A and B are shown apart, each in its own frame.
Chain A
Amino acid sequence: MTPVKVFGPAQSTNVARVLLCLEEVGAEYEVVNVDFTVMEHKSPEHLKRNPFGQIPAFQDGDLYLFESRAIGKYILRKYKTREADLLREGNLREAAMVDVWTEVETHQYNSAISPIVYECIINPAMRGIPTNQKVVDESAEKLKKVLEVYEARLSQSTYLAGDFVSFADLNHFPYTFYFMGTPYASLFDSYPHVKAWWERLMARPSVKKLAAVMAPQGAVIFKLQ
């Protein structure tokens, strides 16, 4: 079977999101770089794969997909096994909880945590833009409120959608991984159930493998600070 292709650098958060799903189901894949320095993401060839000129894009035979969470779901559905059932679509209630916490990650968690990653890491190291401390401080306050809700939830269940790991949990990995390299990582210390959940995720073989791929990039960026 031809390996599926993921377009975009593995260290990019939304690309990593897709790779994590592939690793969890043990599917064969190939990462094809997209060179932003030469505007490759806006090239006609890439726009055919992702009409918004973004990454990731994905190819499985003659099926082209974009939007990292949609790609992730396709992968988890196609390669689902009894051991790797991360969407729980056979159970209405469980599937609903996976959907709820996937939306929460997108709309509540990510909107609080990603500005901190951008301001502390990506902007200074990759764009030469200094950290906007006001944005960081506001985001940190938002994040604390979100983490309070997560703390309450994870005091009741081992993972976000229930006592089973799911797509909802995995979606948190890429941005949180980079966040843990900022000075704000210690925010998690005030939320012991959240911290324990994060450590459970980090212990997963698929997560460790991706963390190793992402860390050197992070280390270069952190050194530049």
Chain B
Amino acid sequence: MAPMKVYGWVVSPWMARVLVALEEAGAEYEVVPMSRSGGDHRRPEHLARNPFGEIPVLEDGDLTLYQSRAIARYIFRKYKPEFLGLGEGGSLEESAMVDVWLDVEAHQHEAAVRPILWHCIINKFEGRDRDQGVVDESVRKLEKVLGVYEARLSGSRYLAGDRISLADLSHFSNMRYFMATEYAGVVDAYPHVKAWWEALLARPTVQKVMAGMPPDFGFGSSGNIP
């Protein structure tokens, strides 16, 4: 069987979300690197794969998928449905909790973290000013979100229950960059969140994907501009 192909730049948190899923699933895959600064995602050949002109894109034979969380779901459904709370050993309740916390990741966590990453890391490399007001508001929002996570993780080893799922893994890529900003210390007030984060970091699959994600997104001295 031909390996799956993943198109994009590996420093992207959305790309990394998919790479972690592939690694955890033990799937064979090949990264097809694209250049963000070169505008590869806006070229006709990429628009033919993803009409929204974004990355990552997954090709599995003649199936082409986009939207990182949809791709990750497909990968686990195919190889390891237990990461979605589905399949043998799964249950209606567990799969529901995976879905709940995956949506929380997108709507609450990413929504709060993303402006911090943009203003604290990316903006300076792209010649834009940091808006401290936006950063401060996002940090406040994130603290409220982490408060909810702390309560959840005080009663449950992982977000969806006692075993790790896509809901947990989906957080890794944005957290990786957040923890490289000056606001990383915010997590110290939430000991269960901190322990959960350290458990994610300790996974060999996560370490492997992280190796392609320098804290400056490749813009700075690592010289690997996306």
B80 close to A (CB within 8 Å): no
Contact, CB under 8 Å: B67 / A149: no
Distance between Cα atoms of A67 and B103 in the complex (Å): 7
Contact, CB under 8 Å: B99 / A67: yes
Minimum Cβ distance to chain B for residue A185 (Å): 24
Which parts of A40-69 form the interface with B (CB within 8 Å)? 51-52, 63, 65-67, 69
Partner of B52, one of A51, A74, A104: A104
Q: How many A-B contacts if CB must be within 8 Å?
A: 73
Interface of chain B: mostly helix, strand, loop or mixed: helix
B211 close to A (CB within 8 Å): no
Contact, CB under 8 Å: A69 / B67: no
B176 close to A (CB within 8 Å): no
1/0 per residue, CB under 8 A from A, across B175-191: the answer is 00000000000000000
Contact, CB under 8 Å: B74 / A63: no
B130 close to A (CB within 8 Å): no
Distance between Cα atoms of A69 and B51 in the complex (Å): 24
Distance between Cα atoms of A123 and B112 in the complex (Å): 23
Interface of chain A: mostly helix, strand, loop or mixed: helix
Chain B positions within 8 Å of A77 at CB level? 92, 95-96
Minimum Cβ distance to chain A for residue B3 (Å): 17
Chain A CB count within 10 A is highest, among B78, B95, B100, for: B100
Chain B positions within 8 Å of A100 at CB level? 65-67, 70
User: Which B residues are within 8 Å of any A CB, using their own CB?
Assistant: 51-52, 63, 65-67, 69-70, 73-74, 77-78, 86, 92-93, 95-96, 99-100, 102-104, 106-108, 145, 148, 151-152
